[in-house]
Structure 1
Amino acid sequence: MISAAASDAVARFLAHKSALQAISENTVTAYQTDLIEFLTFMTLHKGEPQGLAPLMELGVPDMRSWMASARSGGIAPRSLARKLSSVKSFYRWLADKEGCDPTAVLATRAPKFQAKLPRPLSEDAAKDVIETVEFQSQEDWVGARDIAVVTMLYGCGLRISEALGLTGADVPLPNALRIVGKGGKERVVPVIDAARDAVARYIRLCPHTLSEDLPLFRGVRGRALNPRQVQKVMQQTRQQLGLPASATPHAMRHSFATHLLSAGGDLRAIQELLGHASLSTTQAYTQVDAARLMEVYNKTHPKA
């Protein structure tokens, strides 16, 4: 439903973002989805496919109509803000390549929303997850694999994609791992003994050949372990332990950061360990810690 010129421009924009910013495939897909939805709306809004010239002449009323349509369609403010960010990025690129004036698009204000704070597990709950996750499988090697993956998330603060991106070349695990995270950002992560021991046990029990060029963590048929399987085993574990739905694999990474901060860890060092490009992202954990401190204060202070 969008013009060939607009479709070509989106393709060139995505190629530009991928080449210069080394963004992940998921991010590329999100950009593409957001832009196709936006351009499809403009086609319907204007009554015909919009070439580059009409698209570069969009005004404030057009942007307001898109925002209103998205809100009436039930899109959450946070999601709409992300979509608007994608559109603005596209128009900045158009302005640079085609010389258009993107003022109307760039001046559009994102909807206000309450930023979600990370929801970490308590230290005891994180320990319970690691001790319980293996019992979700009847095969010893699969249970050992799940312990190893979850321990890497909590013990090293890895994202699921980073843990599942490890290969046979990374074992035996060294004292520190070199991890390539989002946007190709590289960082060095210390490996605790518990993580080394968990991975070593998994390797001893794994029935599949773990060569240097193949994924370290495998599914039951020997293929690369699917992230959905990790999410599924975490779901089963939290149900067994009576933990909230927020107890996800990513929550183990959040817990890693929050518990380090609670123990007196330096915020800048935690930023490096997590691979956050901006310190403001890591600063969310200070709000979590402060919120938990106030909760304890209100429950225990004699005058509260």
Structure 2
Amino acid sequence: MDKIILVTGGQGLFGRYLRAELGEAGRYPSREELDVTDAAAVERRLARGDVDWVINCAGTARGGLESQLRANALAAGELARACAAHGAGLVFISTARVFGQGVGPFAEDDPPCPVDDYGLSKYLGERLVARELRAGRYRIVRVSMALGLNPRAPHGQLIPRLLELAARGEPVRAAADQRTSVVHAAWAARMLAQCCRDDAPNGVVHVASRDLVSLYDLAAYVFAGLGLRPGPVPARGADFHAPGLAPPADQGLRSVTWPACGDWRQAADLFICERLAA
């Protein structure tokens, strides 16, 4: 039996770019076809015995803590348990937000300290994956910000949301005091696919750029590249957060395991070209 790589949440941003990396080996069920929060459905799918690796792109940053825990943590744990039972490896996509209000860029061995619902749910997902697959195969891959086209949720990421605001004629603001590491989703997909090909030890890896950029500078660069006027207005990160929860100055990542993917301008330029060609 030929083994496959199952990409859960495969109709989203990373699933789109993983198609080019995995070719005929990949399978990309939609949520309607395979809901990772349905443990029985996950068990039935893995029990077929044809899955070598699962790349879990499913998850959410929406809703309250309960819904995010269900999608990002509990479902990840059940998926890891099914992988362990049927000999499959698991690549779990996580986030820089597991580091909370610390000052980055963060490396793989920096201690997580999440402070928001999304960061907490993803960190718990990491712990459950590591626990269930301690005798199996797993990689936890953290990404800070990925640019790319996502037809299923075209405004799901920050920069596309800002572009949508501009298209509606609404004012656009972006934090000038918050920096992040930006990669293109195609680069991240290449690294995710590599996780399924090498024999590296279990653990955490970061997909990171060579440099950090403020959200405002990134947005301004993309707007200028697309010829959009007026551009975004600089704002404070605190303007977009709940009172009393100071935003982190840096949500960027760095890696001591993998080489940097490139710099943020290269990622933005590729995204701009995609938007102009769409």
TM-score by length of 1: 0.26
**Relative CO higher for 1 or 2, CA cutoff 8 Å, sep ≥ 6?**
2
**Larger Rg, first or second structure (1 or 2):** 1
Q: Is the helix fraction higher in 1 or 2? A: 1
